[in-house]
Structure 1
């Protein structure tokens, strides 16, 4: 089923709420909207968030926990965003966070809609084929502490009912037909737009947002963001094995946020770009076909809801062609490993720890690596708590 492009913008004064879900071009659109924040008001559109992605506000609104080791979101984050939205008055405003897709029940969704403006709220949901989402979502879970390998993770998500472990959020986000139904119950089908993202049209999503908001063509431009790139298989496996060691040694979550995700991984992403020789995360054929079947079922259910659909829903059941090449064993490049290690060390250096106890008799070389990691971890945690 293929639909026409958007011919008319949403009514002036609409609160356009883009809820993702994850891995459907959310970071790209958030970056473009934030970059155009000062230019959009001239055309009657405001971007009320104080940052590119108001993640804490969305998490607080949905009563969801923060990412591993991050500061817990509070009602103040959500209230601040609501105040900024209300300050836009009768103008159109646009809010985007994929974490709104994590809202678990109708009551939570209804409250979010009511607080944002009730009948003025229009929901925008962006979708991609499940087969393309799975590898990207798995490596993202690994960046948040997951220790399970990809094949095993796929078995749990696709073959082991009730399909909730180890990541119950996966199907809450990516059973897309149920996601559309939940939000449609809150606002009605006439105030829900579903956009099927075509990966072959790189700027198509930006043009769709411009049409919905009544913005001039090409006002929204892509913003390069190396920090948002997916990890290669070797990088993900290195991080996954680090997660195993991290959990096995009982280190605190705060350290993971500072040293691993926002230290080692962030610096590695910004400093190293994947090459054609890097092994990509490959989904086995059985899982790709299962994803295609689920995608076809979801496309039919979404069409039956009566919401406006932009794009070709047949893409949701697309099954990528199998690679004829046998993938080599992933190997982490020395430069990549060095940049990851440097990122962790730089994070430690950014929060130096003052030594208040006399030096111990043993040297570093006489101390086990496990004990060194534990001592370093607790020292950094003390500094974090003081800050």
Structure 2
């Protein structure tokens, strides 16, 4: 195992030998390990990278549909189901790079269900040239972030109840069976290295103290000049606060309770209210974050230590400090009373505006405004639901 566990220095380049020219670097995440930031930086710098012999063949920042299609995964709640043509389009773009180095990044590749699927992915991209890159963070950092992401896709379960299911209730598959497929990191690395080979697998343990460290590592592996990759502000993808997540979770309860179609949720909530709230306002210093109880932190640390030990014995290259995967984050002083989470009026207003803006952008979206105040709320919900559903189906 090759490791680099030095103290982070944001001014120093990462000393890693670049991969051979012509490598097809496949970054598989998993989720919540800096993927959104690195994908935004790579897409923004794709022309500059091409000038240095490295291609970013995806047609968008994140080829999510292609990864979901090849892994036989459904789309996000309410979205159109990914099709084989999405995967084939990405494969064609990769093959068009010829003998140049190329990079593909999607955390949804971590959802590949079995060796057969992984072999299919590797073979389509040219298995002899594929090098798999896995980025890792401690489970204690991933759990609250992943829970709120599940809430953004319709989850109605509270955080502590969700932790209880994920950590205490065997077989630990409800309500989100994807969680441990993604975040039992030793098994993830084992599945992929078994197909592409340990020598063609690199694991990077991200250091949250060094926000640019992941960018520098990608530059080093690809043989790019230092500083070429930079975080793009609008792809920072900040996490929701506890109050924001709880507001959304309660909306999910109402949404399911009233039987509205998933397409409404996708359009108005996940692609309207949530991104508007994220991008238009930042959490205040006194906003309450999502807090993980001590028992769950300790359980996550134990699992992290086991995963680090198993990964270290696989013969794959490891960059960063594996010991951080089993670290228990510092806790609030004993006896400190937790603050009551409250949604900021600005955040609520921006979320509501985001949903309204999406609805208004639909053809005929402004129709009927003069009579809205005369219409019962239940009828309004039904009418809006049926209108958006009809438009989505027509498209």
TM class by shorter chain equals over 0.9
Residue 283 of structure 2 corresponds to residue 274 of structure 1: yes
Cα distance in 1 between the residues matched to 2:93 and 2:235: 29
Q: Deviations over 1:235-283 (max 9, x none)?
A: 0000000000101111111110100001111111111111111110000
**1:221-240 correspondence runs (5 A):** 221-225=230-234, 228-240=237-249
Aligned residue-pair number? 383
Return the match for 1:133 from 111, 129, 142: 142
Distance in 1, matches of 2:365 and 2:190, equals 55
Give 1:370 deviation, angstroms: 3.0
> Does the CA-based 8 Å contact 1:227-1:266 persist in structure 2?
no
Structure 2 residue aligned with 1:381: 389
Aligned residue number for residue 17 of structure 2: 8
Contact 1:255 1:381 in 2 (8 A): yes
How far 1:364 moved relative to its partner? Answer: 4.5
Spell out, residue by residue over 1:299-340, the C-alpha distance to the aligned partner (whole angstroms, 9 max, x if none).
Answer: 000001110000000010010011124322211111111111
Give the whole-Å Cα distance in 2 for the aligned partners of 1:3 and 1:175: 20
Q: What is the alpha-carbon distance in structure 2 between the residues aligned to residue 6 and residue 112 of structure 1? A: 30
**Structure 1 stretch 271-280 or stretch 128-137: which is displaced more?**
271-280
| Structure 2 SS opposite 1:228 | coil
Q: Which consecutive residues of structure 2, in runs of 5 or more, have no partner in the other structure?
A: 5-13
Structure 1 residues 189 and 6: CA distance shift in structure 2, 3 A:
farther
Structure 1, residues 336-366: CA drift from partner, whole Å, max 9, x if none? 111111111111100034799xx9xxx6556
Match of 2:348 among 337, 356, 359: 337
**Residue equivalent to 2:66:** 57
Instruction: Name which of 362, 373, 378 aligns with 1:351.
Output: 362
Find out whether 1:157 has 2:161 as its counterpart.
Answer: no
1:1-387 maps to which residues of 2 (within 5 A)?
3-4=3-4, 6-225=15-234, 228-324=237-333, 325-353=336-364, 364-365=372-373, 367-387=375-395
Q: TM-score, normalised by structure 2?
A: 0.94
SS at 1:177's partner residue? Answer: helix
SS of residue paired to 1:230: coil
| Change beyond 3 A, Cα 1:365–1:227 | farther
Q: CA deviation at 1:226?
A: 5.6
Per-residue deviation at 1:375? 1.7
Give the Å deviation of 1:371.
Answer: 3.0
5+ residue gaps, structure 1, are none
Q: Distance in 2 between matches of 1:209 and 1:178?
A: 23
- SS of 2:79 mapped into structure 1: coil
Contact 1:232 1:279 in 2 (8 A): yes
The separation in 1 between residues aligned to 2:174 and 2:311, in whole angstroms, is 26
Q: Offset at 1:6?
A: 4.5
Give the Å deviation of 1:369: 2.5
Residue 365 and residue 297 in structure 1: after superposition, are their counterparts in 2 closer, same or farther (change >3 A)? Answer: same
- Quote how far apart the aligned CAs of 1:7 are: 3.1
d(CA) in 1 for partners of 2:269, 2:337: 31
Q: Give TM-score scaled by structure 1 length.
A: 0.96
Q: Secondary structure at the match of 1:51?
A: coil
CA distance in 2 between partners of 1:2 and 1:88 (Å): 30
Spell out, residue by residue over 1:53-104, the C-alpha distance to the aligned partner (whole angstroms, 9 max, x if none). 0000111111111000111111111111111100100000000000000001
